[in-house]
A and B are shown apart, each in its own frame.
Chain A
Amino acid sequence: MNLTLQVWRQSGPASEGKLTEYQATDVSPEMSFLEMLDVVNEKLAEKGDLPIAFDHDCREGICGSCGMMIDGVAHGPSRGTATCQLHMRSFTDGDTIVIEPWRAQAFPVIKDLVVNRSALDRIIQAGGYISVATGGAKDGNMIPIPKLDSDSAMDAAACIGCGACVAACPNGSASLFTGAKVSHLGLLPQGQPERYRRALRMVAQMDLESFGGCSLFGECMEACPKSISIDVIARMNRDYVYASVSAVEERALGGEG
């Protein structure tokens, strides 16, 4: 099939960007979206033109590198799918596809479709971990964890940090990302000692970066390639409110709060 692409081209962080039109010809429905872009890029390079820059790495939907707005939808039309796993069979011959970078104040454009997502790393730095140093851990089976808790923690931990939730949110909020980590660790017994302090600090960092607030639109959940539920945001809010009213910042708590 043949497609018309309208691609956002921007040479650097400080430059103006604009949509530029390209033709993608002889596209096979078995191709992934990124393979379709590879072919376009190779033709550009053959002519000595600058290929379209986009982040990508594992191309199996787990590293979280890739991500673009495809016709205004984060990661494109297939639900629960990262851009690298989107296949061209989702499109029809003659389609025009508009491709843009993540649009969010907290994700400045570096070049073309590549954005700076380091704010997400800084949210993790604020508390998205359990403070155990290497060595000295007791036997893994000394901490029995109900299967349901472990499964729910895993559901939240499946987040790949791609930033689609932020890009999809009308407010540019990172609540699904942050809530997923707060929930993953907060659901496990190992995560209890730092549970409230973690929620407070991660939310504070999220506010410090240029992310917006959450109005529970739920767009994030629709865009999430791992279909993480907005229940994690409710859980984060609960922990955050509890921590705020009880001023537990520096006090270690055990068990369910």
Chain B
Amino acid sequence: MTVNLNSRVPAGPLTEKWDKHRFDVKLVNPANKRKYTVLVVGSGLAGASAAATFSELGYNVSCYCYQDSPRRAHSIAAQGGINAAKNYQNDGDSIQRLFYDTIKGGDFRSREGNVFRLAQISVNIIDQCVAQGVPFAREYGGLLANRSFGGAQVSRTFYARGQTGQQLLLGAYQALEKEIAKGGVTMYPRSEMLDLIVVNGRARGIVVRDEITGKVEPHLADAVVLATGGYGNVFYLSTNAKGCNTTAIWRSYKRGAAFANPCYTQIHPTCIPVAGEYQSKLTLMSESLRNDGRVWVPRRKEDVGTAPGAIPEADRDYYLERKYPSFGNLSPRDIASRAAKEACDDGRGVGPGGRGVYLDFADAITRLGEDKIRERYGNLFEMYERITDENPYKVPMRIYPAVHYTMGGLWVDYNLMSTIPGLHVAGEANFSDHGANRLGASALMQGLADGYFVLPVTIGDYLASNRLEPVSVDAPEVKAAVADVQARTSKLLSIKGKRTVASFHRELGHIMWEKCGMARDAAGLHQALEMIPKLREEFWQNVTIPGSGDDFNQTLEHAGRVADFLELGELMCRDALHREESCGGHFRVEHQTPDGEALRNDEQFAYVAAWEFAGEGKAPLLNKEPLVFENIKLSQRSYK
């Protein structure tokens, strides 16, 4: 074991850790803050909130995004809501309960200290967002409204119609623009981070390609924050935006940052099924729909081709309500997804190819009226109709699971710092809070907790505790990083082969979905570990990238990202193969209970698997951070 996996979770009672830590950290004098430069890569919830808050504190900030405006980061697409332990509904919620639900939802594979802090901060996030003018849904009395999400028996989810992510991101984006106007943040849109610059063992900058001019330049700083999102696009088809990629965290991994639990992937149960070969992405239908929609398939295979309305009640299998009576349709995502797959594998799936289940609103419409349903989910119903040409007020939606979120990411300690000093990682890009499965409406919570409230405290501690010598653009490490990026770009452009970038991406995605998707087994993972390196080799010999590197070239951008996915995919399979247990989104068919639930092995696998890059062509090294549970008793997760 070579990397240091000290989690730095403060000692003492759970409820006092964060307060104690905030008192113990070193502070940077207000007058000195402007002497420090911090780079924030990514402008989603975590990145925009961190960049804005750093600037408010007085730091000198640069922020980067690959889109043409920071407002377009993929946080914008989150639909359903954001959790907070406000207990406004008086239904028994508390910080302790949100903490417990999150740990249990993650199948006991996350750190107690981090998760408790997240639950504590959740209440401040709502206050902050309201103050910024986020138009959360309200009751007639003017107070904030809530709804329920999977894995919880309380209503703690705050929402803005089906566009919660958009409204929260616009809040953070507006705060960011406010700071840009004041001169505290320099924004670099259409800019992609292609490498990390490490000097004397510390992260001191990044190499950035300007997507319009193709210019590759180093940007130097005192600390770097990666808030670059997840890597679900390794599967080609996912609910992620087309541009979402692993490049920033992958290149940082190759510079020494440990990559934790890469195999923990969330497959979301309610997405619009695949329609054809040309399909470029999958569209999510918010989990909030499961508040009022009932999931079912025909009880008998013979009824699969029958119109849903013609199948009598008695011949329908509301399988989530049957299998999990206490959580029913609001069972957590991993469980609901597997149950859908099981029903389809059993030959009872509906729609083209038999890969779909019904999400039916008929009961809710009868009970509440169509208007109420329209008010709650109107925009989602419209989106569904636009894509499928079917009216979900009249016929049940057809849904199927799709890749949605990655719980794995760069390993970070309690300060959200990676194994490279000075490199901090926030939001989906880190591995920290969701264990092996994330609960609905918790990604927005974590992104904003990291950016608004955690990093602004911990980054100051890092800057105040370390003496950082100035780095020159002429330093050998800087020049080498820039040269590496340029060499890689030239190499990609020089191949001039016969296969398109997209065709490689699709093939990789197919391998990942079949072998490292909703259900995994050793044989399939071994096959994938043979197939991926071969595909990667072919990519580097036969990919075709028209155009040059000196101007706007979207194919070149895509090629760089696919090249990294081709390496990451292998690490994911390796991690999935080594974890000889099932937990959360990681389901190894060899390890299940007699009734088909995930079977954990706490004795051997209650740890974070942090993989360390060992050099090109060498097997990565496995490091383990044991998970210590002082406040929660590990148990078989049950939603029955």
Contact = CB atoms under 8 A, between A and B. Distances in A.
Interface of A: 11-12, 28, 30-32, 34-35, 38-39, 42, 44-46, 48-51, 53, 55-65, 78, 80-81, 85, 87, 89, 110-111, 114, 116-118, 120-121, 124-126, 128-135, 137-141, 143-147, 150-151, 153-154, 157-158, 160-161, 184-185, 188, 190-191
Contacts of B387: 32, 85, 87
Interface string B531-557: 000000000000011110001101100
Given A60-B283, A62-B163, A147-B139, A125 B56 contact: no
B178 interface: yes
10 contacts: A57-B241, A58-B242, A59-B241, A111-B552, A125-B181, A129-B178, A135-B124, A158-B163, A161-B72, A188-B133
Contacts, number: 217
Contacts of B138: 145-147, 150-151
B77 interface: yes
Nearest to B543: A45
B52 A134 contact: yes
Interface in B438-483: 452-453, 456
B127 A31 contact: no
Contact of B133 (A55, A139, A184): A184
Interface in B374-394: 382-383, 386-387, 389
A32 B69 contact: no
Given A51-B555, A139-B127, A38 B74 contact: no
Given A35-B278, A161-B71, 15 more contacts: A28-B275, A28-B278, A51-B554, A58-B241, A59-B281, A80-B382, A121-B177, A125-B178, A125-B180, A133-B53, A135-B453, A137-B131, A145-B138, A147-B142, A191-B133
Contacts of B547: 50
B128 A137 contact: yes
B189 A118 contact: yes
Contacts of B173: 124
A57 B243 contact: yes
Nearest to B503: A42
Contacts of A58: 72, 74, 76-77, 241-242
A232 to B, nearest CB: 14
Given A153-B135, A154-B161, A147 B140 contact: yes
B172 to A, nearest CB: 10
Interface of B: 49, 52-53, 56, 67-74, 76-77, 86, 88, 124, 126-133, 135-144, 160-161, 163, 165-167, 170, 173-175, 177-178, 180-181, 187, 189, 212, 241-243, 275-276, 278-281, 283-284, 382-383, 386-387, 389, 452-453, 456, 496, 498, 500-503, 544-547, 551-552, 554-555
A63 B546 contact: no
Contacts of A59: 241-242, 280-281, 283
B144 A140 contact: yes
B40 to A, nearest CB: 14
A139 B127 CA distance: 5
Contacts of B178: 125, 129, 131
A116 B76 contact: no
Given A31-B278, A129-B174, A110 B130 contact: no
B76 A62 contact: yes
In the A-B complex, list the 7 residue pairs whose CB atoms are closest, starting with the nearest. Answer: A144-B142, A129-B174, A137-B131, A140-B130, A125-B181, A137-B127, A154-B135
B177 A32 contact: no
A9 to B, nearest CB: 13
Given A126-B181, A130-B133, A42 B174 contact: no
Nearest to A39: B278
B128 A150 contact: no
B500 A42 contact: yes
B386 A87 contact: yes
Given A85-B387, A134-B56, A62 B77 contact: yes
A65 B133 contact: no
B143 A144 contact: yes
Given A130-B174, A134-B53, A134-B56, A190 B69 contact: no
A31 B166 CA distance: 25
Nearest to B140: A147
B227 to A, nearest CB: 15
Contact of B74 (A57, A114, A130): A57
Nearest to A37: B280
Nearest to B180: A125
Given A85-B383, A125-B178, A144-B141, A57 B67 contact: yes
A30 B131 contact: no
Contacts of B69: 64, 117-118, 120-121, 161
Given A132-B131, A144-B142, A45 B177 contact: no
Given A134-B53, A140-B86, A141-B144, A30 B276 contact: yes
A102 B177 CA distance: 24
A65 B67 contact: yes
A114 B383 contact: no
B389 A89 contact: yes
A171 B167 CA distance: 29
A84 B148 CA distance: 30
